[in-house]
Structure 1
Amino acid sequence: MKSTILPLALIALGLPFAALAQESYQVAKTEVTDWKSVFGTVEAKDTIAARARLGGTLVDLVVAEGVQVQSGQVLGQIVDEKIAFQLNAIDAQLEALNAQLSNANTELTRGEELLKRGVTTTQRLDQLRTQVDVVTGQIEAQKAQRRVVEQQAAEGQVLAPISGRVLSVPVAKGAVVMMGEPVATVGGGGFFLTLAVPERHAGALHEGDTITIETPKGDKQGTLAKVYPTIENGRVVADVEVAELDSSFVNARVLVRLPMASREAVEVPAALVRQHSGLDFVLVEENGTRVERAVIPGGHRVVDGTDMVEILTGLQGGETVVSHEH
């Protein structure tokens, strides 16, 4: 427990608060967390390629890297010149079949008149009706085939698979692309940090842990959202969710501090440690006597606004450390 006394005389002199040294501190062992600094990579939650659904020539490309797109938005146009020839061939077949149907209908009408006169037979009339049905079916089949080819032509449009930002465009206008080849890659669904931590630290990673992220604007807090069960190349992969993560550059590396383990440590306010002759000392009060004791300080951390320094050797806990100024 800390005991802070603010001398009234210093306050009366109007000295700033930083000049007020803590008079004494009861040393006790506290639990501290060891942190490991690693680099995280900014990645999109969903990264999907906008692929060509048709092989042909990319005649139009309307996006570039960094552009925001909406799901279903047209990114480019692919043209396969063979489709136009297929449509012309189908149209020619339809014309021929329509002519056959017209002739078959004429023959059927003539056959019905002849049957009324008793000149022809019912069997012959049935043959004429079947011929009309066959040609009609052939026409419907060609129309269905034309719709298939028209759908193939419509699939020449390259559509954005999700809403997000275009991350890469590996092809250029005028390029010949194959069916299934990526024309652009879109990242969406938000952004997060991906970490790759050595597998010896796998047991220290727990979903829900608070993660500290260092940014140019100061430290931010994140949450360890997912730890993947598969170890890749001797490393554990984990995802960290960060509110308002700067996603200006995807795959940018960000310094992250991970909690690795907890241990007991002896800490004192850094203001109670004095250095002289190349050594660090604290003033320990024992039975009314003050004795200067050499210590080896470790890392610093801020606790409730106070700069605390870990004492690696020299103190064990239970001592009373006082200020050298009193």
Structure 2
Amino acid sequence: MRTLIAIVALAASLPLASLAEDLQLAEVSVTEWKAVYGRIEARSRIPARARLGGTLVSLEVIEGDVVTAGQVVAQVVDAKINYQLAAIDAQLQALAAQLDNAKGELTRGEDLLARGVTTAQRLDALRTQVDVLMGQIAAVGADRKVVEQQGLEGTVLAPISGRVLAVPVAAGAVVLPGEAVATIGGGGIFLRIAVPERHAAFLQEGAAIEIETAAGPSEGTLARIYPLIENGRVIADVEVPDLPESFINARVLVRLPIDTRTALMVPETAVITRTGLDFVEIASPRGAVLRTVVLGQRQTLDGAAMIEVLSGLLVGDRVVTAHE
């Protein structure tokens, strides 16, 4: 204790710099910040699914590739489709032969009716048979188009433009209809944060957010607060310009404004450090004196670097903010 008193006395006995300007202390409102980790996410994450079950014969993308909407991602082949087409073609040939025979019978019936050998009822039956066979051929032809379309659906296309995030299958694998071949993230990226629910009342849409990225500090805007609390945390989205999108789900440090309080703040230039102690020069009627202070957090207020004084100063003190 004697050593501390001696140090303070020695510092007070040192010659003080001439007064350049001073600031009358008053309580100011400062923002209380909460440090949390946010996660970079794609705005849309859509799987490219196989519409046809079969063997994955080719895979055109890997993780990290950039694709455009409609780009071919993979090719699925079902060998049964060729056999189905062959069976339908054989059925069409058989119906075509029956139709030729029915048309021949109809022509002969018309000749016989002209000579009065057959009846009109028999001729109507022959016409009906021709119409039925033509209808059957049309139906089988429509079935063939359905099978052809199934074969075309073996081409897996990218649903949106973006970056390939995951490819859970490999070439040669057997896939089922609706199975995801690749997951594509697109539509832009944003920052998603999870904040403890006790801070939910202090979150406001449009608030400025401080972010620490690999490229350096940045600022964003609290764009959306979701009303559903999950596992005791509030989910919110932050809009950040020029957010790096090299890695999706990457974690970045975010500082959120959660509350406001009053504090005594002095410019950093007013703080003098000597022999390991912090001092602030105070203007008084008897001249300038040094007071030992305990400092708190540093903040930027109106573009000026300020530091909080926890003890050592009172409201109304005139602080020398610059020295020469």
Q: State TM-score, norm by structure 2.
A: 0.90
1:316 to 304, 309, 314: 314
Equivalents in 1 of 2:148, 2:224: separation in Å? 45
Q: Which residue identity is paired with 2:73?
A: L
2:246 to 237, 245, 248: 248
| Structure 1 partner of 2:179 | 181
Answer yes or no: is the 8 Å Cα contact 2:27–2:264 preserved in 1: yes
Q: Offset at 1:253? A: 0.9
Matched, 1:110 2:103: no
Answer yes or no: is the 8 Å Cα contact 2:22–2:322 preserved in 1: no
Equivalents in 1 of 2:315, 2:100: separation in Å? 107
Task: Please give the per-residue CA displacement for 1:10-49, whole angstroms capped at 9, x wherever unaligned.
Answer: xxxxxxxxx9996422211111111111111111100000
Equivalents in 1 of 2:280, 2:75: separation in Å? 75
- SS of 2:242's equivalent in the other structure is coil
| Structure 2 partner of 1:172 | 170
Change in CA separation of 1:114 and 1:258 when aligned onto 2, cut-off 3 Å: same
Task: Please give the per-residue CA displacement for 1:117-175, whole angstroms capped at 9, x wherever unaligned.
Answer: 11111110010011001111110110010111111111111010111111111101000
| Structure 2 partner of 1:236 | 234
Change in CA separation of 1:91 and 1:324 when aligned onto 2, cut-off 3 Å: closer
Task: Please give the per-residue CA displacement for 1:164-189, whole angstroms capped at 9, x wherever unaligned.
Answer: 11111110100001111100001110
| Structure 2 partner of 1:159 | 157
1:41 to 35, 39, 46: 39
Equivalents in 2 of 1:311, 1:282: separation in Å? 10
| Structure 2 partner of 1:307 | 305
Equivalents in 2 of 1:195, 1:79: separation in Å? 43
Change in CA separation of 1:325 and 1:153 when aligned onto 2, cut-off 3 Å: closer
Q: Which residue identity is paired with 1:103?
A: N
| Structure 2 partner of 1:261 | 259
Equivalents in 2 of 1:285, 1:21: separation in Å? 8
| Structure 1 partner of 2:93 | 95
| Structure 1 partner of 2:273 | 275
Equivalents in 2 of 1:122, 1:305: separation in Å? 104
Answer yes or no: is the 8 Å Cα contact 2:28–2:262 preserved in 1: yes
Equivalents in 1 of 2:77, 2:217: separation in Å? 51
| Structure 2 partner of 1:140 | 138
Q: Offset at 1:321? A: 1.6
| Structure 2 partner of 1:66 | 64
Q: Which residue identity is paired with 1:86?
A: Q
| Structure 2 partner of 1:31 | 29
Change in CA separation of 1:277 and 1:125 when aligned onto 2, cut-off 3 Å: same
Q: Which residue identity is paired with 1:246?
A: P
Structure 1 stretches lacking a partner, 5+ long: 1-18
| Structure 1 partner of 2:210 | 212
Equivalents in 1 of 2:194, 2:43: separation in Å? 16
- SS of 1:63's equivalent in the other structure is coil
Answer yes or no: is the 8 Å Cα contact 2:18–2:323 preserved in 1: no
Please report the RMSD computed on the Cα atoms of aligned residues, expressed in angstroms: 2.0
Q: Which residue identity is paired with 1:71?
A: A
Q: Which residue identity is paired with 1:195?
A: I
Equivalents in 1 of 2:88, 2:19: separation in Å? 94
Answer yes or no: is the 8 Å Cα contact 1:164–1:187 preserved in 2: yes
Equivalences, count: 308
| Structure 1 partner of 2:192 | 194
Q: Offset at 1:79? A: 0.6
2:282 to 266, 271, 284: 284
Range that drifts further, 41-50 or 300-309: 300-309
Q: Which residue identity is paired with 2:243?
A: L
Change in CA separation of 1:48 and 1:307 when aligned onto 2, cut-off 3 Å: same
- SS of 1:87's equivalent in the other structure is helix
Equivalents in 2 of 1:207, 1:272: separation in Å? 36
Q: Which residue identity is paired with 1:316?
A: L
Equivalents in 2 of 1:20, 1:285: separation in Å? 11
Q: Offset at 1:322? A: 2.6
- SS of 1:247's equivalent in the other structure is coil
2:84 to 86, 92, 117: 86
- SS of 1:141's equivalent in the other structure is helix
Range that drifts further, 58-67 or 214-223: 214-223
- SS of 2:293's equivalent in the other structure is strand
| Structure 1 partner of 2:148 | 150
1:75 to 48, 73, 76: 73
Change in CA separation of 1:22 and 1:204 when aligned onto 2, cut-off 3 Å: farther
Q: Which residue identity is paired with 2:140?
A: Q
Q: Offset at 1:212? A: 1.3
| Structure 1 partner of 2:118 | 120
Q: Which residue identity is paired with 1:155?
A: E
